[in-house]
Structures are given as structure tokens and as C-alpha cells.
Structure 1
Amino acid sequence: MTTTTTTTATGLSEDQVLEIMHGLPAVDWDDLEAAHEITSQVAHRIGDDRALLRALVDRVPGVEALRQKCEIHTLDDKIVIWDAPDKGLRIRLRLANVKQYERVHNHRFSFTAYLLHGKYYHTMYATDQPLDETADVTRFWPRFVREERAGDVLTLHHNQLHTTLTDPDTISLMIQSPAQKRRAFMIRKSDGHVWWRLGAADEDEARKQEIRMSDERFAHWRARLAELDLL
């Protein structure tokens, strides 16, 4: 059998990229402290290596399973660059496209975020009430407030309530666990409106098409990442 090895403009071949990525360690997300240690190393391995990150972004259009996971949303977009659920490693870029408003929320998954560009204005919250449509927005209390800057790495449990206000072009490398629940809670601080973020398995086809990232939008972010000297 003959294998054709394609070398990208980065100088890394597909085989070299796969060798690096398949060699990443598995993550036990049940031990959040240990998960932070491992995912911090993984985040730096990818985020600090422009050639590798560029190769990962550039291969996405040719990997349909990844391309289908690239999405646009009101506040930020995402490009999934690697997905290894057996190792607890879904790796993506979070791309802030507008100045954001405060929405206290949790996640369906635990995650580590490595800020590559921009800032998070980060607040963690506590509450004493059920997280459902009856939630009172005045009963979410800030417990921890800090500014996360480019170069910082943070790991968060999927049940932690928080807000991350960002400016446009705040870019982070996200490493997330497999989903721990089917929906994530969100409440808008300005008016108390509650809604839920669902996973792909629970979204209808119309919603999937609505949030699917177009080729033009992908090209925009590819160019913007290069302009910001992240690739």
C-alpha cells in the first residue's frame, strides 16, 4: 500500500499533524485539578505553536466531521479543530464577534480556556434557587471577579455559573469535556430572561442550518487569525 503525504504551507504534513494530535494525553474530567494540569499543557502545545495551529485550522474544511461543528452565534463563533471524545478532548477556537452582554450561565461540559488574544471580564456567581424558568435574576450573587488576559489559562466545572464579557476579536483555545448534561442554563441579567443552550443531538435541522458557519465566515476568521498573528 502506498501512502501519499501532503505537506501544507505550514511545513507540517498531515501525517505529522496527526502524529502530534494522536499523541495527546487523555483527560479525566472527573478530577478537575488533574484535568487542568493536562489540558493546560495541551493548550500551550497547540496555542503556542503557530505552525501547528495553522495546520489544524487549514485542515478543517477538508474534514467534514469537524466542518459541520463550526458554528456562528449572536455573540461568538466557534471553529472545531480536533475532536477525540474517547480522550475527553474536543478542541476549538472561541471567536468573539461583538461586544457582549451579561448572561449568567453554566455549560453542558467542563472546559479549559487558553486566551490567545484579548481579555475576559470574568465573574463567577452563586445562587440558592433552582436553575429553571422560575429563576429570579436578583438572586445570583457574584463570588469571584477577575480579568483574564492573553496568556492566562482557566478551567471551569460544567456546573459553575459565570459570565465572561469580552471585546470583539477576543480569541481563546477551548478544550472541553464530553457533554455532562443535555442543556445549559442561561439568564440575561438585564431582564431575567431564561433560555437553554442545547447540544446538537437535541437541535432540529432548522436550528443546525441557522448556526452552521458559512465558507465565507470561515474564510473571514481564517484571515483574521492570521492578521492577529495567531497563525
Structure 2
Amino acid sequence: MTTLTSTSAEADAVAFMESLPVVRWDDIEAAAEVTERIARRIGEDKDLLRLLVDRVLRTPELREKCECHALDDKIVIWDAPEKGLQIRLRLANTDQYESVHNHRYSFTALILAGAYNHTLYATDQPLDETADVTRFWPHFLREERAGRCITLDHEQLHTTIAEPETVSLVIQSTAQKQRAFMIRRDDGTVSYRYGAADETAERRAEVRMSDERLQHWIARLYALGVL
């Protein structure tokens, strides 16, 4: 596998990342202010972002966190759980379907390329296998385009339908619960998303991003003007 670049500037990039503040996600409004500043600082500095992506290729603990899923893939570029900071690129795949879901973590996302339709939902029922897909009510709908930054609490139910290859810079908290709820709008199928610590070895192997897929995404990030 080839790397993007190798310069002494990497040390400066790492020093900058290590200087990022602790994020207190229990105050979601304060967390939104801090993480938006961080996201824009990183996302709008292509030299910094290139160095961080390049570093992933040579940092096994980050490389192992890069994953492929049905709707999107992710490249983790920084992981500092002690500060409430995991930073990654979210990469939308071509095939999309609508799944009302929450997350195990709260997060901020800065759209770097592309767009998606974003809907927030409310419900009055338990989030388990008994959930009725007709009892999730949309109360907010907006198109999120490049340059927009959003922050969501881990309990918020929402859907995102992304244009192919939509890229977001995501800053997330540590996990706030063991599993996240998901229900498909088309057929009402309920499933859950777990963290790596609660997944089987077979599941970890299934979602691990291949070297070829990672190189594909790096090339696309250049083509899309993200890097």
C-alpha cells in the first residue's frame, strides 16, 4: 500500500491534534460549539487532513478502526477517548435506504462534500423488537449540504439519505450505551449496532475495510476536492 505523503509536518499535525481540548458531551450545546470549531479547523485545512489520512496507513490502531457498512464506510483519523474525541471521515455508499436510528454516541458532523436529506423523528414506544414503524413521526426535515455542521445527542432518532460519495468529518463522543436502535422504514425490520468490543471476530472481519477499499476512498477524496 502506498502512502499519500511523508513529511516532517506530521509531527506538527500530531502535536496540534494532541492539543485539542476535552469535550464535555453531557452539555450538548457547549459540546456543539467546541466540536464545530475543531471540525472546521480540520476539515478546511487540506494539508492537515491529508497528513492525518496518510498517518492512518501507518498507524495500526487507527487502520483497524476503518470499516465498511451497508450505507457508509468510515476512516478513523484520530482517537482520543480520554478527551471525548474520535474523529473520522464518513463516506456514503451508492446504495441508500431509510433507517430510523439513534447512535451509541453523541456527535458533530461537518459536511465536506455532497449532501443528504436529514429527518428527525419522535416516537412514544420502546425502542426494541416490538417497535411499530408507523409510530415514528418526523418533526424536522432539512437538506444538509457541504459546509453545514450539525450536532446530535445519542438519543435523537433520525434518518439520513445521502447522495453517493457524500463525505462528512465526524467527531463523536465515547459510547453512551451498548447498542444503537435501527428500524427500516420500508419493512419495519429492527436491528442494532454494537461497538467493536461487543462484536464477534467474524463480524469484525466482515466490516474491516480492505486495503483496496481504503485506497479507493483516498483516490475519491482527492477527486472530490476533500484532500
TM-score normalised per structure 2 = 0.97
- The correspondence for 2:69, drawn from 54, 67, 73, is 73
Deviation for aligned residue 1:39: 0.2
Deviation for aligned residue 1:61: 1.4
1:33 is aligned to 29
1:174 is aligned to 170
- The correspondence for 1:139, drawn from 127, 132, 135, is 135
- The correspondence for 2:81, drawn from 72, 80, 85, is 85
Deviation for aligned residue 1:12: 5.4
1:165 is aligned to 161
Q: Which residue identity is paired with 1:77?
A: D
2:190 is aligned to 194
Q: Which residue identity is paired with 2:34?
A: I
**Contact kept in structure 2, 1:10 and 1:54, CA below 8 Å:** no
Alignment of 1:15-26 (within 5 A): 15-26=11-22
**Contact kept in structure 2, 1:125 and 1:160, CA below 8 Å:** yes
Superimposed CA distance per residue, residues 46-75 of structure 1 (whole angstroms, 9 cap, x where no aligned partner): 000000000000110111110000000111
1:4 is aligned to none
Alignment of 1:83-122 (within 5 A): 83-122=79-118
Distance across 1 between alignment mates of 2:79 and 2:209:
17
- The correspondence for 2:215, drawn from 206, 209, 219, is 219
Change in CA separation of 1:197 and 1:170 when aligned onto 2, cut-off 3 Å: same
Distance across 1 between alignment mates of 2:214 and 2:185:
31
Query: Where has structure 1 moved over 3 Å in runs of 4 or more?
Result: 8-12
Distance across 1 between alignment mates of 2:11 and 2:165:
31
What residue ranges of structure 2 are gaps of 5+ in the alignment? Answer: none
Distance across 2 between alignment mates of 1:221 and 1:79:
9
Deviation for aligned residue 1:19: 1.0
Deviation for aligned residue 1:14: 2.2
SS in 1 for 2:127: coil
Structure 1 position 124 matched with structure 2 position 120: yes
**Contact kept in structure 1, 2:5 and 2:54, CA below 8 Å:** no
Distance across 1 between alignment mates of 2:17 and 2:53:
13
Number of paired residues?
Answer: 224
Deviates more, 1:94-103 or 1:181-190: 94-103
Distance across 2 between alignment mates of 1:214 and 1:116:
23
Distance across 1 between alignment mates of 2:209 and 2:6:
24
Distance across 1 between alignment mates of 2:203 and 2:5:
35
What residue ranges of structure 1 are gaps of 5+ in the alignment? Answer: 1-7
Q: Which residue identity is paired with 1:167?
A: E
Superimposed CA distance per residue, residues 147-185 of structure 1 (whole angstroms, 9 cap, x where no aligned partner): 111000000000000001101110000000000000000
Identity of aligned residues (%): 64
Distance across 2 between alignment mates of 1:12 and 1:118:
32
Distance across 2 between alignment mates of 1:10 and 1:119:
32
